[in-house]
Chain A
Amino acid sequence: MLYSTPGVNRHDRRLTEESGPQAWLAEWSGQLQSRRRFLLQLAGGSLAALFPWTGSAAPAPDEAARWRVLDAVQRHLFPSEPKAPGAQEIKALEYLKFILANDPDKTEDRRFILRGAGWLEDMAHRLDRSSFLKPDESGRERVLREIEKSEAGSNWLSTILLYLIEALLADPAYGGNPDGVGWRWLAHIPGFPHPPPGKRYMELRRK
């Protein structure tokens, strides 16, 4: 029997079927190293260790404020357009909240994402003396490109982007992609049957 390669992409890894074994190993090795560094940084725990320039330019935002920052980040990273849905239309924040609240394996992601939002606010205050929520588009772009320069900041943005892509293209049962708006935009034909509540991946794990 042959098993077709599903394009198994845990986290943000991707190896194409076209890659030869050497490329496969090399890429895997690289991913291992970057994953290890990332985990080490997480294990360090403190924001200071994660983001060396973190100081106290502004009071730490509460959780509700962090979610507002995340909403603004998502809208900037995936803007709405007349003919193409953005973060708002694909309900990216709703998807992110649903996954982080319902998948017990995502506690680390949740912590990392919310901490990063606080740190982003801090960076915005340093650069612009105002919240990330306030500046214009070019101001937000400048702050995000600034945090991208660190490995941890780049990891944080990659994480947000991956959840955006999932919100766009995962089944609407998870809170994003309402009525298949993301599928329609990209002319993607989904398969049937769709998972009903009670049969989503975190629920199937209890079987």
Chain B
Amino acid sequence: MTNFDVCVIGSGAGAGPVAYTLAQQGRAVVVLEKGPWFTEADFYKDELACCRHSVYTPRLKNEQHVIEELGDDGTWLATPTSESGWSFWNGNCVGGSSNFMSGFFHRMKPVDFRLLSEFGPIKGANIVDWPIGYQDLEPYYDRVEKIVGVSGRLEPHRNIEPRSSPDFPYPPTAEHPVSGWIDAACGQLGYHALKVPRAILSQPANGRRSCEYSGYCGSFGCSSGAKGSARAALLDRAVASGHCQVRPHAKVHKLISNAKGRVVAAEYFDRAGQRRRVTAKVFVVACQAIETARLLLASTGPRFPRGLANNHGQVGRNLVFSAGGAGGGDLVYGELSAARAAELRAMGPFVNRALDDWYVIDDPALPGGRAKGGIVEFLFAHPNPIARADGAQRGQTSLVWGKPLKRLLEGRFH
């Protein structure tokens, strides 16, 4: 079939819920994904596959980004990632980068929808309040937690957002002993440790197995199906409904619009490089912020000389980042009691602790006395051993090898 009710371009966290919902309602849906279709049977705890080679992302020599940097002399230097080797792709396969997430499913809070009115303007920025509020989205947050499968326990907390369900649909995932240390430390400091819900099943459901606690979660594909990727949680079920077809290796390069300004077809290249076309009544472009903008801008037509949805020149602008920073520390085995050291060595369960005491920061030293803060999430360093070892061979002035290198490696791991 080439004629569908709905054609969804992309298959990740944005596309998955759309395809799932429409397929459940009996609409004929086609999902076009430029990458391959991996399943649980393709995901192993293999650092070379997950993190050191382009397996889930395009090779940079084939698909590059160009990064512009402002130099010290005020001129911009453009460098293609094919040359730098630095990949900005996050996961181009069925389910997108949600295959490789850690599954932190924090809801936004009511204040996030009113940043302008709550915190005032920011010079040079065109910040506005959302046209909808938290209460408009709450039913959807609730549905996502149930359908994707979020595990956690709701406990009274000072910053908790209004919620229509009394608790999360699945009990919490198993917790690392260090979580108890964090609770105790926060109690002493007067902070309020928050138990973090995860989009990871703590018990089998909907044909997916429970988490198997390998200790290798974020940036790895999930071998059990417990992680609530758009693929495992949504697209597999959409396909099972009989109303959704997923086409991997289908790279859409243009949306075709007619003289009336309606989009009538998506044109893509298949794996063999053949040009293909699907028609549909409705098109959903959900291939991440940058690629969505790129596709819209490339899709010029009789009524859209500057690209789709771009009559005001706003496509590709106003990119909003979720900014973050990180700090770290070491827990030194030699300074711990034998019992605590044994606890720390536990591998597999999740830390699942965060602080949102500074979600909004009230401080007279700030302009207006107030600023939007965020969440402090506690995590262990990623367990990938090659990443942990790599760098020991680079000394201050010369390379390190031989027995000195081996002693450095022992120091990094023990």
Choice from A17, A25, A28, A158 contacting B326 with Cβ under 8 Å = A17
Asked if residues A11 and B85 are in contact (CB atoms below 8 Å), the reply is: yes
* A154–B399 touching, CB < 8 Å: yes
Interface string of B214-225 (1 = CB under 8 A from A): 111111100100
Assess whether A188 is in contact with B385, with CB atoms less than 8 Å apart. Answer: yes
Closest Cβ of chain A to B175, distance in Å, is 17
Q: How far is the CB of A4 from chain B (nearest CB, A)?
A: 3
- Asked if A105 lies at the interface with its beta carbon under 8 angstroms from chain B, I say yes
Asked if B390 contacts A165 (CB within 8 A), the reply is yes
- A205 to B38 CA separation, bound complex (whole angstroms): 10
Q: In chain B, what residue has the closest Cβ to A161? A: B393
Rounded to whole Å, the gap between the CB of B278 and the closest CB of chain A is 22
Q: Which 10 A-B pairs have the closest CB atoms?
A: A191-B45, A6-B219, A4-B218, A191-B216, A7-B387, A186-B413, A195-B44, A201-B49, A191-B214, A17-B326
Q: List 22 A-B contacts (CB under 8 A).
A: A1-B98, A3-B101, A4-B102, A5-B382, A8-B87, A10-B85, A31-B85, A35-B84, A39-B83, A77-B405, A105-B53, A141-B402, A148-B399, A154-B399, A186-B412, A191-B45, A192-B214, A193-B44, A193-B45, A201-B53, A204-B55, A207-B37
8 more A-B residue pairs beyond the given contacts A4-B217, A6-B50, with a C-beta to C-beta distance below 8 A: A3-B102, A31-B84, A81-B403, A81-B406, A162-B390, A189-B383, A191-B215, A192-B212
In the complex, A151 has a CB within 8 A of chain B: no
Instruction: Name which of A53-61, A110-118, A169-177 contacts chain B.
Output: A169-177
Q: Which residues of B contact A28 (CB under 8 A)?
A: 84, 86
* B37 and A165 contact, CB distance less than 8 A: no
- Evaluate contact between B414 and A187: CB separation under 8 angstroms: yes
B399→A2 contact, CB < 8 A: no
Q: Nearest CB to that of B324 among chain A residues?
A: A2
The answer to whether B328 and A1 touch across the interface, beta carbons within 8 angstroms, is no
Q: A32-B84, A35-B85, A169-B386 known; A201 and B105 CB under 8 Å?
A: no
Contacts of A20 in B (CB 8 A): 325
Is B405 a contact partner of A78 (Cβ separation < 8 A)?
A: yes
Which residue of the partner chain, among B46, B83, B347, B402, contacts A32 with CB atoms under 8 Å? Answer: B83
Q: Given A25, A192, A195, which contacts B49 in the complex, CB threshold below 8 Å? A: A195
Interface size counted on chain A using CB atoms at 8 A? 70
Cβ of A169 and Cβ of B44 under 8 Å apart? no
Q: Which of B59-99 contact A (CB under 8 A)?
A: 59, 69, 79, 83-87, 90, 97-98
Chain A residues whose C-beta falls within 8 Å of the C-beta of B379 in the assembled complex: 4
* Chain A positions near chain B (C-beta within 8 angstroms): 1-14, 16-18, 20, 25, 28-29, 31-32, 35-36, 39, 76-79, 81, 84, 103, 105, 141, 144-145, 148, 154, 157-158, 161-162, 165-166, 168-171, 173-174, 183, 186-196, 199-202, 204-205, 207
Interface size on B, residues (CB 8 A): 79
> Nearest Cβ in chain B — how far from A1, in angstroms?
5
Residues facing A in B361-414 (CB within 8 A) are 377, 379, 382-394, 398-399, 401-403, 405-406, 409-410, 412-414
Q: Which residues of A contact B414 (CB under 8 A)?
A: 186-187
- B residues 1-25 with Cβ under 8 Å of A? 13
A76–B223 CA distance with the chains assembled, in angstroms: 39
B402: chain A residues within 8 A (beta carbon) = 76-79, 141
**What is the bound-complex CA distance between A165 and B384, given in angstroms?**
12
Q: How far is the CA of A205 from the CA of B36 in the complex (A)?
A: 9
Quick check: B59 and A3 within 8 Å, CB to CB?
Answer: no
Q: Is the CB of B390 within 8 A of A14?
A: yes
Is the Cβ of A9 less than 8 Å from the Cβ of B101? Answer: no
Q: Contact check, A169 vs B36: say whether CB atoms are below 8 A apart.
A: no
Q: Which residue of B lies closest to A162 (CB)?
A: B390
Verify if B42 is at the interface (C-beta below 8 Å from A): yes
CB < 8 Å neighbour of A168 from B79, B223, B347, B389: B389
What CA separation (Å) do A202 and B394 show in the bound complex? 28
Do B413 and A187 touch across chains, with their CB atoms under 8 A apart?
yes
CA gap between A125 and B25 in the complex, in Å: 77
